[in-house]
Amino acid sequence: MKKTTVINSDLSRVISQMGHFDTLAIGDAGMPVPATTEKIDLAVTKNLPSFIDVVTNIISELEVQEIILANEIRTNNPSQLTAIQKLFPDTKISFIAHEDMKKDLKDAKAFVRTGEMSPFSNIILVSGVTF
């Protein structure tokens, strides 16, 4: 059995295949995912698992050099933005329109669906390198 923190087999596979500048998206239960993007659905019920818990788990194994958030999180979910900023204190944050984020999901290696039920709880992680 795997000893590290990400034990979901699909999620572990995607993280292990990530290269520099590849992207992995994580989002709330309502985010539409393009049919061409792999969806790893972790949602069990409302708010289980939470967005922050899933992001925290993923970044324990994925080297992240930049994160991308929707502009709308600033006004529609500032508490979630604060939680994200605490997880990524030294990481570059870019903001784009939510509509653009939805379009960018087509380029992500995968989209991880959580049970989160708060607005604009979506993030794109840009993979870094460990050297």
Residues belonging to the active site: 20
Residue 121 labelled as part of a binding site? yes
Classify 66 as helix, strand or coil: strand
* 70 DSSP 8-state letter: E
Residue 77 labelled as part of a binding site? no
Q: Assign residue 55 a region: left if phi > 0, alpha if psi is -120 to 50, beta otherwise? A: alpha
Residue 90 labelled as part of a binding site? no
- Cα(70)–Cα(67) distance, integer angstroms: 10
Nearest to 80 by CA among 32, 120, 30: 120
Residue 120 labelled as part of a binding site? yes
Residue 122 labelled as part of a binding site? yes
Q: Please, which residues bridge with residue 111 across strands?
A: 25, 39
105, 25 in Cβ contact below 8 A? yes
Instruction: Cite the annotated binding site for substrate by residue number.
Output: 28, 98, 120-122
Instruction: Cite the annotated binding site by residue number.
Output: 28, 98, 120-122
